[in-house]
């Protein structure tokens, strides 16, 4: 059985050193079997360009800490190839 995880992130500004949203799709044997997405508090500023592009701002992410986001779904990532 082949298992892959494709993921995408959004960033709050042009520095691209933090994330404000993460999404993932688990693919087994060529089929999407599970998806996941969450906002993430990057604990930094949001540029007006990125707010306009993604619709994500500081108010939307204020309670979404990265440890809580990843900790809840660790089984999603086990024994898989990341893309």
Contacts of 1 (CB under 8 A, 6+ apart): 28, 29
pLDDT in the model for residue 24? 87
**Element at 38 (helix H, strand E):** strand 31-39
pLDDT in the model for residue 46? 97
- Chain centre to alpha carbon of residue 25: 11
Q: Which domains does the chain have, with CATH numbers?
A: 3-76 (3.30.420.10)
Among residues 19, 28, 10, 22, which one has the least CA distance to residue 81?
28
pLDDT in the model for residue 4? 87
pLDDT in the model for residue 54? 96
- What is the average per-residue pLDDT within 28-57? 93
Each residue's pLDDT tens digit, 52-82: 999 999 999 988 776 555 555 556 566 666 6
């Amino acid at each position: 059985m082949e298992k892959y995880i494709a993921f995408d992130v959004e960033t709050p500004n042009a520095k691209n050193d933090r994330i404000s949203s993460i999404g993932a799709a688990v693919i087994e044997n060529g089929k999407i079997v599970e998806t996941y997405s969450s906002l993430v508090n990057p604990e930094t500023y949001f540029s007006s360009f990125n707010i306009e592009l993604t619709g994500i701002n500081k108010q939307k992410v204020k309670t979404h800490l990265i440890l809580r986001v990843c900790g809840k779904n660790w089984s999603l990532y086990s024994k898989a190839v990341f893309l």
